Structure 1
Amino acid sequence: MRQSVQELIERYQNNLYAIAFNICKNPSDAQDVVQDTFIQYYTSKKEFEDEQHLRAWLIRIAINKAKNMTLTFWHQHKVSLEEYMETLTFETPESENLFEEVMKLPKKYRIVIHLFYYEDYSVKEIAEILKLSQSNVKVRLSRARALLKESLKGEWNYDE
């Protein structure tokens, strides 16, 4: 199964950008990652089983390219979280605070949180995308949630 690049761009551009930004923390780098991901799709001859297989492949490519981007010299010129936060709008102060805390998480926790909560992937799918065991994904999710709970403890009221 092959789809036109234009269709894929319309369907997945925003998701891939969010994933890339999550890793790179730089809008320009994230845009480059998205563009490179679609270029790789265009130049590859790979056939996909279905839509889910294609989506997972695009996400895996974007993650790998974003990780590679963070290793380059140019990554040192990234936009700070504070500068990026000024461009975003949030419905509530709590959602803004939650976003800030998620962005402060270590990369290995940030990416599983993003894939699980924002992209609606299951633990099994995340494990396949990141090439981890399902138990490792569960551990990372659990640790990320614990870190978020601890950092947000004073901000949010829990009914426990």
Structure 2
Amino acid sequence: MENTSSGTNDIVVKALNTYSDMVRRICLMYLKNEADIEDIFQNVFLKLLQHKEPFENAAHEKAWLCRVTINQCKDFHKIFFRKHVCSIDDLEIPTEDKTEEGVLWEVLLLPQKYRNAIYLYYYENYQISEIAKILGKKENTVHAHLRRAKAILKNRLRGFEDGNYF
């Protein structure tokens, strides 16, 4: 980051304009609560504001923001209060919904390790090798998570007419 406050602000504003949707979607995968999403969103861009090292390129900045967002969400779940509230995963959601929102709910209900791989691969268009670096996993592990997630979704979504979501 540049030392001048206006230069730093320019970098953060540019990052907000470029990556805010991505950060919100990652937060949604983990938190599923608008107020919590806003808290983590602010924390992520505050960390960017405090980040002193320059990024090598835009891809490095994007990967850094993905990793920080994931870490912030995981840390948020470690808070004592969060462990003692009802999660959306515990709620029964009707699966007869044949709309795109029904598919989205099914993706959100996947186990976290599969949800991360699906999101980064299909929504952020990362390659498997890049996902492995972001998540700190081996490429074969990421490949297996994608394959298993697709199998779970295929079984859950069998009733869809066109079924070509993935």
Q: Which ranges in structure 2 are unaligned for 5 or more consecutive residues?
A: 3-9
Distance change (3 Å), C-alpha of 1:78 and 1:157: same
- Of 59-68 and 70-79, the range deviating more from structure 2: 70-79
Alignment of 1:85-96 (within 5 A): 93-96=98-101
CA shift, 1:73, in A, is 3.2
Looking at structure 1, the residues matched to 28 and 77 of structure 2 have their Cα atoms a distance apart, in angstroms, of 11
Deviant stretches of 4+, over 6 Å: none
- Of 29-38 and 127-136, the range deviating more from structure 2: 29-38
Alignment of 1:14-93 (within 5 A): 14-75=21-82, 76=84, 80=88, 93=98
Q: Which ranges in structure 1 are unaligned for 5 or more consecutive residues?
A: 86-91
Looking at structure 2, the residues matched to 45 and 158 of structure 1 have their Cα atoms a distance apart, in angstroms, of 46
* SS of residue matched to 2:125: coil
2:123 corresponds to which residue?
118
2:140 corresponds to which residue?
135
CA shift, 1:97, in A, is 1.7
2:6 corresponds to which residue?
none
1:147 corresponds to which residue?
152
- Of 100-109 and 148-157, the range deviating more from structure 2: 148-157
* Aligned mate of 1:105, from 104, 110, 131: 110
Give 1 or 2 for the bigger CA radius of gyration.
2
* SS of residue matched to 1:4: helix
Looking at structure 2, the residues matched to 131 and 120 of structure 1 have their Cα atoms a distance apart, in angstroms, of 17
Structural RMSD (CA): 2.5
Percent pairwise identity? 33
Looking at structure 1, the residues matched to 148 and 17 of structure 2 have their Cα atoms a distance apart, in angstroms, of 34
* 8 A contact 1:16–1:62 mirrored in 2: yes
Which residue type is aligned with residue 44 of structure 1?
H
* 8 A contact 1:33–1:65 mirrored in 2: yes
CA deviation profile, 1:72-129 (whole Å, cap 9, x unmatched): 1343557848xxx9xxxxxx94312211111111111111111111111111111111
* 8 A contact 2:128–2:139 mirrored in 1: yes
Which residue type is aligned with residue 63 of structure 1?
I
Aligned length: 151
* 8 A contact 1:26–1:79 mirrored in 2: no
